[in-house]
Amino acid sequence: MAAEMVPATNDVRARDRLFRAAIELFNRMGYAATTVREIVEAAGVTKPVLYYYFGSKEGIYLAILEEARKAFQARVDAVQQSGGRVRERIFSLSRELFRLFRENIEVVRLVHAVYYGPPQGAPPFDFDAFHYTFEAVLEHLIEEGVRVGELRPGNIRAMVTALHGATGACMEIALAHPEVGVDETELDQVLEVIFEGIARQKRRDKEQHR
Amino acid sequence: MAAEMVPATNDVRARDRLFRAAIELFNRMGYAATTVREIVEAAGVTKPVLYYYFGSKEGIYLAILEEARKAFQARVDAVQQSGGRVRERIFSLSRELFRLFRENIEVVRLVHAVYYGPPQGAPPFDFDAFHYTFEAVLEHLIEEGVRVGELRPGNIRAMVTALHGATGACMEIALAHPEVGVDETELDQVLEVIFEGIARQKRRDKEQHR
C-alpha cells in the first residue's frame, strides 16, 4: 500500500465508525446503491481512511461478514470445549448463537438482504457455513447423547432439524419483530418442548404396555 | 377503464404469461429494476394487455402476492374443516403449507427478496399474515389436543414455535438448497421428533418414579 494512502492518525475509532456507517447504509439503501463517498461522509473520515483499512467497498463488506463469522466460530468453539450433560451443551450452543444473532441484528439484516434480496453485485461469501456448522455441532452432540443414553435413539437428521428449527424460529421473530422482545427464556422453553415432546402418550409408552 | 385499453383478444393465457414473466424478472433483476416494458416483452404481449389485466407494475406484483395469499388460505381452510385426531391435523396443515411453499418457490423467492432485501419501492403487503395465520391455527389445534387429552398440558406458545420452526426449517432448506430435495417425508420425521421428544428419560417419567 502506498505511503500516501495511510491516514495521518491511525485512529482505530475511525475504523469502527466506518464499519458501523457501512452496515447502516447497506441496510438502509442496499449494498449496490451505497457508495464509498456516502460511507466516508457518514463516518466523518476521508476516502483514504476507508481505502487504508478496507481497500474498497467490497473490502468493508467482506470485513463485516468475516468478523461475524469469527464471532460465530468463537461461540461454537467455546461450547465444544465445555463439558457437562449433552442437554446443557445443546441449550448452551443454541442460546449462545441466538444471543450473538440478537447482538448483531444489523449485520444479520445485511446478510439476509444479500442472501435473499435481488442481485446486488456483492462479492461472494459462504453464508451457508453458519447453518452447516451449527448443524454439524448439533449432530455430534446428539450422537454423543444417544451413545451415553441421555437421548433416545432415533432419526438424528430429524432431531438436528427440529433443534435448528427451534433456534431459527426464535431468530426469525427477533429479526422480523424486534418489538416482541423474544429472548433466551423463550428459546429455552421451545428447546424444552423438543426434549420432552408434546404427545401425552408416547409411542414408546405404548410399546412398553404391549 | 377506457375501451382502447382492452386488448383485442381477451386471452387468459396472456394474463398467465404476464404473471410468470413478472415473477421471473422480479427475481432475476429485482422488483425496482424491472420495467413494464421488460415484462410485456418477456410475456410476448403489448403494454395495454398488462394495463388491462393489472393496471401497473404495482398491480401485477400485488396480484402475485394476493394469489399466493388465497392459495395459502384455501389450504388452511381445508385443514380446519377436516376432522380426525389433532396429531393428524397438525401433520396435514404443516405438510400442506410446505407443499404449497415448494409448488410456489419462485413466488416465495420474491416474497423473501422484498421482505428481507433493500428497499425497492414495492407497495405494502401484509407478509406477516402468513406466519400469524399458521401460528393461530397451530395454537387452536394444540389447545384442542390438550383438552381432549391427546397432547400434554404445557407451554402452548413454545409448542407453537417448535412446530412452526420444524416447518420453517424444512422450508428454508427447500428455498436455499433445492438440490437437497427435502420433501414431506422429512417434514413428517421432524414433526414426529417434536411429538415424541428427544430425551430418553422424560421428566414425567422421573416424576412417576418418585
Query: Where residue A5 falls among pLDDT bands split at 50, 70, 90?
Result: low
Minimal CA separation from A160 to chain B, in Å: 9
Using an 8 Å Cβ cutoff, are A92 and A191 in contact? Answer: no
C-alpha angle with apex A181: A179 to A184, nearest 5 degrees?
160
- Measuring CA to CA, which residue among B97, B145, B168, B146 is closest to residue A171? B168
B169 with A168: Cβ contact below 8 A: yes
Among candidates B87, B113, B152 on the partner chain, residue whose Cβ is nearest the Cβ of A116: B113
C-alpha angle with apex B57: B52 to B60, nearest 5 degrees?
65
Using an 8 Å Cβ cutoff, are A75 and A33 in contact? Answer: no
Among candidates B28, B87, B118 on the partner chain, residue whose Cβ is nearest the Cβ of A30: B118
Poorest-pLDDT segment among A3-7, A55-59, B184-188? A3-7
Cell (9 digits) for A195: 426434549
pLDDT of residue B12: 77
Residues 6+ apart with CB under 8 A from A53: A14, A15, A18, A60, A63
pLDDT, tens digit, 9 for 90 and up, residues B121-136: 999 999 999 999 999 9
pLDDT, tens digit, 9 for 90 and up, residues B140-193: 999 999 999 999 999 999 999 999 999 999 999 999 999 999 999 999 999 999
Rounded Cα gap, residues A177 and A185, in angstroms? 17
A202 with B196: Cβ contact below 8 A: yes
Cell (9 digits) for A85: 450433560
Number of other residues whose CB lies within 10 A of the CB of residue A175: 16
Query: Where residue B206 falls among pLDDT bands split at 50, 70, 90?
Result: low
B150 with A200: Cβ contact below 8 A: yes
ipTM: 0.90
CA B52, B57, B59, B65 torsion-angle sign: positive
Rounded Cα gap, residues A29 and A17, in angstroms? 18
Three-state DSSP at B94 gives helix
Between chain A and chain B, the number of residue pairs with CB atoms below 8 A apart is 190
| pLDDT higher than threshold 80 for residue B3 | no
Rounded Cα gap, residues B51 and B29, in angstroms? 21
A151 with B189: Cβ contact below 8 A: no
Residue in the structure block whose three cell numbers are 473520515 = A45
B194 with A193: Cβ contact below 8 A: yes
pLDDT, tens digit, 9 for 90 and up, residues B78-103: 999 999 999 999 999 999 999 999 99
| pLDDT higher than threshold 70 for residue A203 | no
Minimal CA separation from A5 to chain B, in Å: 32
Q: Which domains does chain A have, with CATH numbers?
A: 1-55 (1.10.10.60), 66-209 (1.10.357.10)
Chain A residue numbers with beta carbons less than 8 Å from the beta carbon of B87 are 199
Among candidates B119, B151, B166 on the partner chain, residue whose Cβ is nearest the Cβ of A162: B166
Residues 6+ apart with CB under 8 A from A8: none
Chain B residue numbers with beta carbons less than 8 Å from the beta carbon of A26 are 118
Query: Where residue B201 falls among pLDDT bands split at 50, 70, 90?
Result: confident
Among candidates B150, B194, B202 on the partner chain, residue whose Cβ is nearest the Cβ of A162: B194
Looking at chain B, which residue has its C-alpha nearest residue A114? B117
A169 with B161: Cβ contact below 8 A: yes
pLDDT, tens digit, 9 for 90 and up, residues B17-60: 999 999 999 999 999 999 999 999 999 999 999 999 999 999 99
